[in-house]
Amino acid sequence: MTRILMVCLGNICRSPLAEGILQSKVDPAYTQVDSAGTAGYHVGNSPDRRSIAVAKKYGIDIVHQKCRKFDPSDFKYFDHIYVMDHSNYEDVIAQAQTLEDKGKVKLLLEEVSLGITEVPDPYYGGKDGFEYVFDLIDKACEAIAQKI
Ligand code: 4NP
C-alpha cells in the first residue's frame, strides 16, 4: 500500500481537489490518498464550494471530505507528502524530525514540467482560479498515477 498525503494551507481549496483527483486515478486497493492543511482555520469543515463545484464539473465528488490539520505523526504514516506551494513546504519541513521525514516532502508540481513550481492559492480569487488550479493538479496527479 502506498500512502499519499496532499497538503495546502487551509485544506479547503487545493489539497481536497488533489485528494479527490488522485483518488480518481488510482486503485484504492493499492493506494491511499488523504489531505490536510498546515493551518487549522477550517478544521471539520467541508471543502470550499468552488472546489466542490469544479471537481463535480469533471466528475469527481469531494463533498464528503472534512478539513483536518497536518500533524507531525503524518510523517510516519505517509510515504509521500505533496505540498502545493513553497510556504506549505517550509511549514511542513519545519515539523520534520528526521532526514527520512524531510525526504518524503515534495512540491506537487515537481512531478510535471509546466515551468511553474507552485499551485497558487485560489481562495481570494474567482471561479477561473479554481479551473486553473484543477488543471495544474490534474496534470501532476496524472504523472503520479502513472508512476505508482
Ligand atoms: P487552500 O486555500 O490552502 O488551498 O485550502 C485557502 C483556504 C483558506 C484560507 C487560505 C487559503 N484562509 O485564509 O482561510
| Annotated catalytic residue 141 | no
User: By residue range, what is the domain housing residue 31?
Assistant: 2-147
User: Tens of pLDDT along 18-68?
Assistant: 999 999 999 999 999 999 999 999 999 999 999 999 999 999 999 999 999
Among 7-11, 21-25, 64-68, 122-126, where is mean pLDDT lowest? 122-126
The Å distance, Cα 148 to ligand 1 centre, comes to 29
Contacts of 48 (CB under 8 A, 6+ apart): 12, 13, 16, 123
Residue 127 is predicted with a pLDDT of 83
14 part of the active site: yes
- Residue 84 is given by DSSP the state S
109 half-sphere exposure, CB direction, 13 A CA radius:
19
Atom of ligand 1 nearest to the CA of 12: 5
As for how many domains the chain has, the answer is 1
Residue 126: predicted pLDDT: 87
Give the residue-averaged pLDDT of 6-25: 98
- Give the pTM: 0.98
Question: Residue 69 belongs to a domain with what CATH number?
Answer: 3.40.50.2300
Query: CA dist 134 to 43, 50, 76, 103, 126, Å?
Result: 22, 11, 28, 26, 13
Average pLDDT, the chain: 98
From the CA atom positions of the chain, what is the Rg in Å?
14
- Measured distance CA(132)–CA(130) in Å, rounded: 5
